[in-house]
Structure 1
Amino acid sequence: MKYDDFMGEVQHRLELPDTGRAVRATRAVLQSLGERLQAGEAEDLAASLPMEVDYYLESADSGQRFDYDEFVGKVADRANVDRSDAAYYAKAVFGLVSELVSAGEIEQVRAQLPDDYEDLFALIDAEEVEE
C-alpha cells in the first residue's frame, strides 16, 4: 500500500475531515507504539508499511515500559484529542496495520505487550470472529 492510500484509509476509518488529521493520528499511534515495543520488533512491524509511515515506528525511543492507559494518554497528547478518541484512533490505525503485516507479526507484537493492551487488538479480534 502506498502512503497516500494508507492515509486515505486512516482518514476514512476515523471519519476525519482532512488528511492532515489522519497523518497526526497515525503518527501519534505508531510513535507511541514504537516507544513501547523493543527496537527489533518495531522495525519488523514497520517493514511492511509505507516508508513514510514506518518512520513513525522506527524513529521512536523504543523499549520503554508503560501501561495501556499511559499509551492512550500519549496518543491523546500527540494527536491533540481526548482520551476516548485516542483509544479509538489506536484501535483503528493498528487495525489497518494488522491488515498489511502477517498474522505472525501481529502475534509477536501482542506477545511483547502486557494484557492491559488487549483493547488495542479489539478490532482485529472482532474481524477474526466474523470470519
Structure 2
Amino acid sequence: MEYNEFITHVQSLAQSNSREEAESATRATLETLKERVPGDEIQDLARQLPQELGNYLQGREAENEQSFNLQEFIMRVSQKENIEPTTTAIHVRAVFAVLQNAVNPEKFAKLHTYFSHDYEELFTTAPTSEAPAV
C-alpha cells in the first residue's frame, strides 16, 4: 500500500475533514505504537510500510517497550495530535484498520500479541478485502 492510499483510507474511515488531520492521526498513532511494541518487532512492521510511515516507527531500537493500557494509548496519541480523546479514539481505530490491510496478516497477528485484552477493539476490524458482503 502506498503512502497516499494509506492516508486516504485513514481519512475516509475517520470521517476526517482534511488530509492534514489524517496525516497527523497516522503519525501520532504510529509514534505511540512505537512506544508500546519491542524495537525489533516495530522495525519489522516499519519495513512493510511506505518509507514515510516507516519513518514514524524509527528511533527507539535500543529502548524497551512500555506497557500501558488502551486509555493511556489514546491519551498519548491525543497529546501528540493536540485534540480531544474522543476524536483521537476514532482516529486510532481508523489507523489500526488501515494498518491491518497494509501489512501481511502474520505480522499484524504478531503485533496483536503485544497488546493486552483492553486493546481488542483495535484488532477486530475485518480486512476490507475479506469484509462480508451485505
Moved over 4 A (4+): 125-129
The amino acid across from 2:9 in the alignment is E
Q: 1:126 to 1:21 in 2, by over 3 A?
A: closer
Which deviates further from its counterpart, 120-129 or 105-114? 120-129
TM-score, length basis structure 2: 0.85
Question: How many residues are treated as equivalent by the alignment?
Answer: 131
The amino acid across from 2:78 in the alignment is A
Q: CA deviation at 1:5?
A: 2.1
Q: Distance in 2 between matches of 1:10 and 1:62?
A: 28
Question: Which residue is 1:105 aligned to?
Answer: 107
Identity fraction in percent = 31
The amino acid across from 1:103 in the alignment is P
The amino acid across from 2:111 in the alignment is V
Deviations 1:35-90 (A, max 9, x none): 10000111111211110011112235651121111001011111122222212211
Q: CA deviation at 1:101?
A: 0.9
Contact 2:97/2:127 (<8 A) preserved: no
The amino acid across from 1:31 in the alignment is E
Backbone CA RMSD of aligned residues = 2.2
Contact 1:32/1:75 (<8 A) preserved: yes
Mapping 1:52-71, distance limit 5 Å: 52-59=52-59, 63-71=65-73
Which deviates further from its counterpart, 13-22 or 63-72? 13-22
TM-score, length basis structure 1: 0.87
Unaligned runs of 5+ in 2: none
More helix by share: 1
Contact 1:76/1:86 (<8 A) preserved: yes
Deviations 1:74-115 (A, max 9, x none): 111111222222122111101101101111111111111111
Contact 1:31/1:59 (<8 A) preserved: no
Secondary structure of 1:26's partner?
helix
The amino acid across from 1:104 in the alignment is E
Contact 1:67/1:114 (<8 A) preserved: yes
- Please tell me whether residue 18 in structure 1 is matched to residue 12 in structure 2: no
